[in-house]
Each structure stands twice: as structure tokens, then as C-alpha cells.
Structure 1
Amino acid sequence: MTPALHGFLSGLSLILAIGSQNVFVLRQGIRREHVLAVVLVCIVSDAVLISAGAGGLGALVRAAPEAVVVARWAGVVFLLAYAALAARRAIRGGESMQIEAGGGHRGALAPVLATTLALTWLNPHVYLDTVLLLGSIAATHGGQAWLFAIGAVAGSTVWFTALGVGARRLGRLFSSPRSWRVLDGAVAVTMVVVAGMLALG
């Protein structure tokens, strides 16, 4: 197996698990709200982290475990806060797909980007998967570690693009407020579960 293909399959297999970041991308895709911006933030973030891991940053992270602890508890607090907002939306209801001629909701971009960045960079699992795990695997390829990293970034790009764009096909299903209440309820539960997993280490 070539280093690039190994990286592609490794990166794709790690990112497929349903987590807080994937759930948020899915929700934005269904809402058709700033989907391209959200997908780009996720892809660029993964590219930076994977490249850092392939470049040897994983060794530095292992040498400073307190940084991971701080990120872990910051992530727990953020995820619980986001879960509370999702639970509130699920209880109150009232949201539905109202696609405008311009294509999707017109909510503010800044809060969406801030949430995307927080769900990505405040999640210690992201560092464990990209910097440490993928970085360690990349190191086994020696001088071809960057080919592995390129393959892993390609896997991340394919996944987030498919998730964001593919979610648009669910628009008809989420034309009713009840569907959104179910989705937001699922989002709240997912965020709480992920927060619990982070808190327990």
C-alpha cells in the first residue's frame, strides 16, 4: 500500500465516527447555512493538525500533557453549553426549512465559524487522532511521511465535503418543525455523551 493511500484510508476511518464536529456539519448542511465556510474550516483545521503530526508535533504534545487536560475541560464546558442550546431548540420547536431564493438561511457567519472552530480545536480527541495517532503512523513511513499526510488530508476533504453537501438532500425531510426537534434532541444527546467521554478521559 502506498503511503498516500494508507494515509487516505487511515484519515477516513478515524473521521467517520459520529462526533460533535460531524453532527454540527450535518446540521449546517441540512440548514444550507454557510455550508462551504464550515466545510472549509474543518478541512483546513484537519490539514494543519495532520501536517503538524507528520512534522513531529506529536512528540511535543506528549511532553506537555497539561495542555491536553486544559483543552479537555474547555471542550467539556463548551459541549455541555451547546447541548443545552440544542435541547432548548428541541423543547421549544418552531424551526423548519425555509429555503430562500438565494440559497439557504442567512444567519450571521461569525457565530457559525466560532462554533465550528470551537468544536474542532477544543476537542482533545482531534489532537489524539490527528496529531498523535496519524502523526505516529506517518513517522513509520520515514521520508515519505508527507505523502501519508497528504493522503490523510485528502480523506478528510472527501468526508467533510460529502457530509456537508450530501446533507442538503435531507432538506425535504426537515421541512417540518417536528423533524428539527428530533434532530436537535439527537444533537443534544450526542454532545452530552461526547462531553461525558471527554470528562472521563
Structure 2
Amino acid sequence: MADNAEPLTLSRDVKRSIELLEKLQASGDFPTTKLAALQKVLNSDFMTSVREVYEHVYETVDIQGSHDVRASATAKATVAAFAASEGHAHPRVVELPKTEEGLGFNVMGGKEQNSPIYISRIIPGGVADRHGGLKRGDQLLSVNGVSVEGENHEKAVELLKQAVGSVKLVVRYTPKVLEEMEMRLISNATHVVANKAIGKNLCIVVFAIRPC
């Protein structure tokens, strides 16, 4: 984050808004149905996801300028992230501690396979498993503020390896796409075996690397 960036207080602001709505409801001076609906929105998982993604983008966006300029750029990027997820689960921010045992998950896919990068396995008992925020089938969108959408497999792995102390991931849960990709890889592998049997020299590389 730039030195002149003002700290965000979104969590506190949302909490205060909810408290104010409760007071307004108790007063009886305003329509309780509308107030309750607004309170439900502020308490929703969707609102939490929006806030977390906004905060993450605000902290990592490379924009120089006033708070208003930074906030405007962050808002546009957040809207774009959620618009891109239309028809899928909304983006989430997951932060994991980086320890000597690694992060505890495998990734597969990448530009070289003409596919997004996915969390293909959560290692039982590992960091990600104990944390509980990451799922098999999560598409990896960014690592510590660096987008990996449309990038090759190795870039994502290197970003994960380079993280120190902790790693902040933006992910989106799309398990069906992962299943389709795995089925395609299995089909290709079967095709390779069949072609090798008749003397053709073909090969396929399946990426599933545990980041360090």
C-alpha cells in the first residue's frame, strides 16, 4: 500500500451501521421491514465477501493519488471482480500462514493447459486444512495482490513459494470447471497411452505441485 493511503475502517463502519439500524428499529419511527432487510444485507456472507475483496484490492492496488482516487479505482476493480464471477460463486479472500511445512494444498492448471489455475487438493492435516477457508475446486485469482488469471502454472507456484509470513489469496469456488478439466486430462492421458501402444511419440504433463 502507498504511504499516503488512509487505513480502511470498513469492518467498524459496517458494525456501526448495524448498531444504528437496531436503534432505529427499536425507536419505532421507521418502517421495520425495510430496516430489517438492510440489516440482513449488511450481515450477509455476500457483504462480507465484498468487503474483504475491496480491502484486499485497496491494500494492493498500484495507484498513486488521494484517498478518493484510490477508493474509486478499488471500487471499480471490486465491481469488475464480482461481475466476472457472474454465474459462479463470488470471490473470497483467504489468508494462510506460511510455515516450514508449506501451505498444505496442490494447484493444477495454467495458461499452458488452456485452463485457469485451481486448488486441486487440500492436504489432510496441512495448513489449509486446519485453517478451513480454502476448498478443492477453488479457482486461484490472485496471490498477495498479483493476478494469476491467464498466467502459466509456474508463475502461481513461484508466487506461493516467495510468500513470507503469510499468503493472501483471492479465490472463487467453481468445482464443476475443475472436474471438467480433470476429466479432459484423464481423457488426454488415455489417448497418449493408446497412441504410444501403436508407436506414436506423444506425451502429456499434468501439473499438481505442492507449493513450499
Band of TM-score, shorter chain: under 0.3
TM-score, length basis structure 2 = 0.24
**Greater RCO, 1 or 2 (C-alpha within 8 Å, sep 6+):** 1
Q: Is the radius of gyration larger for structure 1 or structure 2?
A: 2
| Larger strand share, 1 or 2 | 2
Give the TM-score normalised by structure 1.
Answer: 0.25
